[in-house]
Amino acid sequence: MPSDIGDEPQDLAGLDIESRQIVIDTIGLVRKRLLPKEKILKLDKKEEFPEQIIRETLGPDIGLQLLFIPEQYGGLGGGARDSCAVTREMSRICLGVATAFFAIQLGADPIMFAGTEEQKQKWLGKICQGAVLVAYAVTEAEAGSNLAALKTRAEPVQNDAGQITGYLINGSKQFISNGGYADFITLLAMAPEGSTFFVMEKGMQGFHQGKGEEKHGIRASNTSPLTFTDVFVPVENLLGGVPGMGLKQANMVFGHTRLMVAAMGLGAGEAALDIVIDYAKKRIQFGSPLSEKQGYTHKLVIPHAVRIEAGSAYMDEQATRLDAGEKDLQVEGSIAKYFATEAGNKAADDAIQALGGYGYMAEYEVEKIKRDVKITCIYEGTSEIQQNIISTFRWRSTVKSKGNYYGAMAQEMEANHASFPEIGAETYAWAARTLNETIMFVHNNKLTKQQFIMFCLADMMTYVEIGISLARKAKRLVQETSSGAEKTVIMSRIFASEVAEVITRNAIKIVTGSGPAREGIPSSLEEKTGYGRFMASHSGLIQDMDAVADIMFGRK
């Protein structure tokens, strides 16, 4: 869970704080009773999908799947904040098991977003009863994240009166989580009108669920290919009742599901960090614990704790917006996923280094977490797909708003700096304005077709928006006089220095490495990326890292 979620508005969708905590506590009991460390390591070693354990968590005694089903269909009516919190907590236990649970929610999402009332009653009702595993069947071997290139076809079947009674499905899907065990799947196929979602049930003639893949990580999950040979799906299984709406529906799902993958990255990163912190307190080297060695903590611990806190602030902010009813948050979902999964992956990688030889041993778990968390940078759209989405849409927003998109963020941070100078807002304001000018430089010099330049912009955009969310959280906690305010405020300053590094490095890389003549670089952009501004952003950085280490290791 986030270190301090603060007070929440009362008019948001989802559970209240107390109800959400009950679900979190239930997951803790599941861990103790069904998924202790020894069991998790055994599942990983044997590459075993714990079908019975998963089904037990869906049964009447636990019913975790009820969280994401609306109340009118038999669920608890949890919102995005609830799904993020639960997904994050499960990912701290085992990312493979969390993937199986996430796949059920992912498979249900097209029904919730696109299904008719009758379809919701039928299929969501089955999920609530705890009798089914579900899979989301979209990915294909050649299409990947390009949903417009699907090769699985859905050909309409008509009766003698010319009425469509169903569709014949032919094709295949690859890398489908829960695919080998799913009782039904939500399938995206290309109908004559365009991509369309269908519900396909296990046992339908011509539907083959393949053997599970042997994987680098998340070995406690099932990942299987699916093939369809003249599978007849009745017309009532066409989600929404109107063909050709699948691409729009899938994009609606992405804004939500990519936030869930962000939660997975954060949860796995936290799990690795927890192991490191415990180890560092106990491991004595040269007469003192590793936790007292600045080189150890400031290289292998503090940067990851700060990034996880920053990613958490952004994820919570976007989940709150979803629960408030906002719809068009696909880019925010991409930013959350890109940053949080890369942060979790880096944290797990350094956790192995932090434990030395023990980190390489299966018994200490961090090597498993590293193998597991890497997939979060790949599924639901790779990090590079997210960079494409972020840079393209934020570039368009900047140009369309004539610079006001990031200009407004800069103004907000400047105002915050005046009242809360301790949260790093001044650096975030400078970063937003420098980003603005860099975007316009790229636009004016017609560099937007150079993919690597757009990737550099995506990193700048991501870090600025993540950092501003962390500053907002720090400000709120100060206003609430929260016990977690001090740590978050210091972390916001530390992260501001990292944002400054990303902004300066990438702006210089773009403007000097892209080829335009030097006289084409605006003098204001040269000034913003100068050494003086960069130095100011790092003022007191080491002392701030010392202070966070004191808090994290209980020295304060």
Q: What is the DSSP letter of 48?
A: -
- 3-class DSSP assignment, residue 104: helix
Query: Strand (E) positions, 36-79?
Result: none
Distance CA 80, CA 415 (A): 30
End-to-end Cα distance, the chain: 22
- 3-class DSSP assignment, residue 172: strand
Distance CA 91, CA 268 (A): 5
Burial 3-25 (b: 16+ CB within 10 A, else e): bbbeeeeeebbbbeeeebeebbe
Structure tokens at 107: 């498979």
Contacts of 220 (CB under 8 A, 6+ apart): 40, 43, 44, 48, 49, 50, 94, 96, 97, 100
Helices (H), 420-484: 425-444, 451-479
Distance CA 272, CA 284 (A): 20
- 3-class DSSP assignment, residue 381: coil
Q: What is the DSSP string of 412-424?
A: HHHHHHHH-GGGS
The Cα-based distances of 285 to 290, 296, 352, 357, 542 in angstroms read 6, 11, 17, 14, 22
The number of beta carbons lying within 10 Å of the beta carbon of residue 284 is 9
Exposed, middle or buried, 46 (CB in 10 Å: 0-12/13-18/19+)?
Answer: exposed
- 3-class DSSP assignment, residue 215: coil
| Position 289, amino acid | P
The Cα-based distances of 126 to 99, 134, 135, 413 in angstroms read 20, 10, 14, 48
Distance CA 547, CA 282 (A): 20
Exactly one of 380, 426, 437, 465 is catalytic; name it: 380
Could you tell me which of 256, 249, 14, 257 has the C-alpha nearest to residue 119?
249
Q: What are phi and psi of 505, to 5 degrees?
A: -60, -50
Structure tokens at 517: 């003549």
Q: Is 380 a catalytic residue?
A: yes
Distance CA 68, CA 64 (A): 8
Under 8 Å between Cβ of 141 and 213: no
Could you tell me which of 269, 337, 336 has the C-alpha nearest to residue 303?
269
Which contiguous run of DSSP H or E holds residue 158? strand 153-158
Find residue 191's DSSP bridge partners.
194
Place of tokens 């996430």: 102
Catalytic residues: 380
